Amino acid sequence: MTTMQDPVAAAERCTPEYRRNPHPVYARLRDTAPVCPMRPPHGNETYLITRYEDARAALSDPRLSKDMYGAMDAYRSIFGDSSVALDDNMLNSDAPKHTRLRKLVNSAFTPRRVEALRPQIHAIVEKLLDECPTRERFDLLPAFAFPLPITVICELLGVPPEERSHMHQLSTTVAQTGFSEESKRAQQKAEEGLHAYFSELIARKRSRPGEDLLSALTAVRDNDGGLTENELVSTAFLLMFAGHKTTAYLIGNAVYHFLANPAQLRAVQENPELVGPAVDELVRYDGSVESATFRYATEDVEFSGTRIPKGALVQIALSSANRDPLKFDSPDQFDVTRPGNAQSAHLGFGHGSHYCLGAPLARLEMQLALTGLFTRFPRMALADPSGEPKWMEVPFPAFRGLAELPVVLDPAVS
């Protein structure tokens, strides 16, 4: 048994150079320290798993708990006390609680139910594209990539249109919180605001229920006690947050890589049936979830000859696993014609009992977004084709997405 050290890994993952391109760091770690002990800025002993086989095994290993209440001291030191109320949901729980909470919302995200949303999502795509300027450069992220998934998930939950902007601002603050005292205060204020908002919205659903998922979950809470009041509030937050942030970042990443790789874009334009496989290839190649959410070891556990001690936090680097050459041929190439079994093997949506509940919805939104953009605007181009993309800065590598995406939809008329 060995413990492989890489003393620069934790600091390196906080640099602008890493945010621009984390893959050389991951390649080094896969070779030299595939289960790497680190001391990140939050100060808690953490082990980073980077190889595909280890990552896949760790994602479904019951010894790595998602119940962060069991690691409360470490949890509070990273996220603060205010996060506890909002994190009382399926993402941060183990069986049987996880099974109970997931079952309550699972039926809303089956492939059949999601497919029934196709006309509604298509209409949202077309409306957003109608409002985009065609003759001048603009940032595609606030104009299209973010409004699409937040509109879809808010309509699914029953969030009124006039309240979505405020909710989006609060959730953005939560997603980009750092470790300074000022940042933690901003996080706490945003989390308290989101908890208050969803508590009040649930109260409205009780008095005036609609044909939406939050009304249905509120009825479950009131009729058979299938979840507590705080679990209901926290589940609403989780569905909103996970249902739009990750998909929005993924749309931005996907559009950028298509425009930077015109041969891949032409392949999809010439063969629209490739758009489905292309979405999974994009999730593998540069997905929006760089690392899975924290787990902690409930007992000593070993991967690749390295012992992770009981009580340590564990991060699973999905972006690294999805570029592991032991699993994928030419993993650093973006290839929409990659064999289907390789595309579906990626870990971008996780694995095991915590596999992403919203994966069918994310895939459909991505397919309709890319098809709509590149069908209506086949000459779409990056506004600064020779410039470096500006990637979002986050306090630790959880999400990966662009900070901006300047484009021109029809350069021929600009």
* pLDDT for position 79: 59
Q: How far apart are CA 335 and CA 175, in angstroms?
A: 30
pLDDT mean across residues, the chain: 88
* pLDDT for position 412: 74
**DSSP annotation string for 226-260:** -S-HHHHHHHHHHHHHHHHHHHHHHHHHHHHHHHH
Residue 72 has pLDDT above 80, yes or no: no
Number of other CB atoms surrounding residue 295 within 10 Å: 26
* pLDDT for position 387: 85
pLDDT digits (tens, 9 = 90+) for 284-295: 999 999 999 889
Provide the whole-model pTM.
0.91
DSSP-derived secondary structure letter, 191:
H
Residue 356, beta-bridge partner list: none
Mean pLDDT of 165-193: 77
